[in-house]
Amino acid sequence: MNPEDRIKELRVALHKHNHSYYIMDAPTISDYEFDAMLKELEVLEGQFPEFHDPNSPTVRVGGGITKSFATVKHEYPMLSLGNTYNWDELADWIRRVQKAAPENTFVCELKYDGVAIGIRYEYGKLVQAVTRGDGTQGDDITNNVRTIKSIPLQLNGEYPERFEIRGEIVLPHAAFNALNEQRAEQGLPLFANPRNCASGTLKLQDSSVVAERGLDAYLYFVLPDGILAATHSGSIKAAGEMGFKVPRPEHKFIEACQTIEEIQAFIEYWDIERKNLPFDIDGIVIKVDSYHTQEELGFTAKSPRWATAFKFKAEKVETQLNSITYQVGRTGAITPVANLEPVWLGGTTVKRASLHNQDQIELLDLHEGDLVYVEKGGEIIPKVVGVNTAARTSDQPRVEFISECPECATKLVRKEGEAQHYCPNEQQCPPQVAGRIQHFISRKAMDIMGMGNETVQLFVSEGLIASPADLYNLSYDKIIALEGFKEKSVTNLLQGLENSKQIPFDRVLFALGIRHVGATVAKKLAKHFGSITALMDADEATLSAVDDIGTVIAQQLVSYFNNPENVREILRLVEAGIQFELEQTEAITEGPLLNAKIVVSGVFETMSRNELKALIEKLGGTNVGSISAKTTYVVAGEGMGPSKKEKAEKLGVPILDEAAFLKLIGQ
């Protein structure tokens, strides 16, 4: 047999054995035989590099070095799920879905406590793996994901030409414990929990180290919807047949449910049995099975209406309060933090916990040295939830909230109706200065590559910057003089600053860090006013009249623009070349879609739903998720649900097919 044929034969056989061992848990050959075949393949590939294949089984051992992880935009946004810890809230959600879709079947699945991943396949081969990131874009970690043995590099049987599958990368308990034992022997700090360890492992530069860690994966979401089957459960079954490690009914990891009682039984079963799993879960995900019904139910701004998560209640432990420190946020908000006697809680050693604000401290009637009860909110952030008053002695003084900023000694203020105290020294208080700049450079804002929070802290401490505008006065000579900076890193940082001058106005507005002005509000304001000049000139009444703005945001904007320091900062950013007005093509002042509220439903021939929605926004319209009397048009593609059609007709909302919509906009 010639070398090329033998290489192909070995690859096919090893892919098959990998699937049998790591996915089906039914090995067909011994480890010795497998290792011998793998070694033969490694030797042949070394002798005949012209037959290189990035999806060869030999990549499982890693060895590649990734110096930086490219940022990749998701073709389909990675939205988060709504969740609850309350059974009554979940039951209400189930009833709402049942009312909207009486014939619906639910699917219950485990909520894996790992790292979300999206993996793209083309012609049966793995081509790219991307982290969740901010939901819009993530990091390309393909080289590292190729080393995970339960993720197939080559698919079996029939499969679509192109598709994406999503799931969770987890670190099994056995691998986590073995890794920590090894680190203890080496005198290295231990990893806090499997999820954090998995996340850190996936961002290692050396893929051979990733390969040694023993990561695993469960994949449970195929895109685009309906490419494998008409239902979610059907897609999962088909994905399993293609070679993916998916939740299987025989393991009770996934189950179809018709009633509230069946869903409750699934949740109660796993609330107990999760302790016997070889990996961590933190709840149960409940989804509508039919893709058609999912389409009917639609989305909110942040999450689908057709899925939610029931989170298991957090474990609670008792430990001693040693002291309280106070953190200053970028907006000047003061957050008290309890420093605790270290205690093991939910897979991590907890030393600190949030106390939120003065009201919470008073509600707890907290005294110095108290024994307190701590739990993890969402099993992530520890918080103090109670006090063992029976153990308190008479010589323990009551905790008094501070009156001055712990960083700059400025007298704190608390506005009427607000829970938090604030440091008003916005321009000189060090954490506020650094926090404001860190927000400015963040991914959703100016996205300045080559610069992170530690770099900001260093530049602030060295006196190089005290505001976002100072970033654009940085020079090569100033930065290269600092310890730890090399020519390439300085060049990348300066190029990142230059590239940020192309960031559109709505993101620049968000980057300013105006209180209550998040990304969505910034987008509305930018679209409505078109420029920073028009926005600064608007009075409270004008601002309040903008959709979804309201009095509180309007007052905050007026206050912000009345501050001479803020105005000077904006003028400096304008001089630096930052975009403070919409591009001419974006400033729509007329047209058939101007201010129209449009519902998009179904599948279209000439463009994807995302492309259609982007076009609507470009032409001055607004995409909305549900039909109401305020809806201007429904754009209906193939497969639009009958209930949406019926509602539109009942309310007299015009329904446009694809051709009619394109004619309306003149295309």
Tell me the catalytic residues: 111
Closest CA to 412 of 402, 426, 398: 402
Rounded distance between C-alpha atoms, residue 569 and residue 319, angstroms: 47
**How buried is 278 (Cβ within 10 angstroms: 0-12 exposed, 13-18 middle, 19+ buried)?**
exposed
Tokens of 598: 């449009």
Rounded distance between C-alpha atoms, residue 465 and residue 443, angstroms: 20
Angle at 415 between CA 409 and CA 417, to 5 degrees: 145
Rounded distance between C-alpha atoms, residue 122 and residue 129, angstroms: 12
Rounded distance between C-alpha atoms, residue 490 and residue 494, angstroms: 6
SS3 334: strand
Using an 8 Å Cβ cutoff, are 573 and 511 in contact?
no
Tokens of 354: 């949030």
Using an 8 Å Cβ cutoff, are 443 and 69 in contact?
no
21 Ramachandran zone, left/alpha/beta (phi>0; psi -120 to 50): alpha
Closest CA to 347 of 519, 533, 153, 113: 113
User: What pairing do the DSSP bridges indicate for beta strands 622-623 and 597-601?
Assistant: parallel
HSE value, Cβ hemisphere, 13 Å, CA-based, for 648: 24
Tokens of 334: 């003061």
User: What pairing do the DSSP bridges indicate for beta strands 597-601 and 633-636?
Assistant: parallel
Quickly list DSSP for 579-603: --B--TTT---SSTTTT-EEEEESB
Distances (CA, A) of 287 to 82, 206, 304, 305, 537: 11, 37, 10, 9, 47
Tokens of 19: 């699937």
Strand partners, 120: 128, 164
Quickly list DSSP for 435-483: HHHHHHHSTTTT--TT--HHHHHHHHHTTS-SSGGGGGG--HHHHHTST
Q: CA torsion 226→229→235→238, rounded to 10°?
A: -140
Using an 8 Å Cβ cutoff, are 287 and 109 in contact?
yes
Rounded distance between C-alpha atoms, residue 426 and residue 422, angstroms: 10
Rounded distance between C-alpha atoms, residue 189 and residue 311, angstroms: 30
**Cβ count near 532 (within 10 Å):** 23
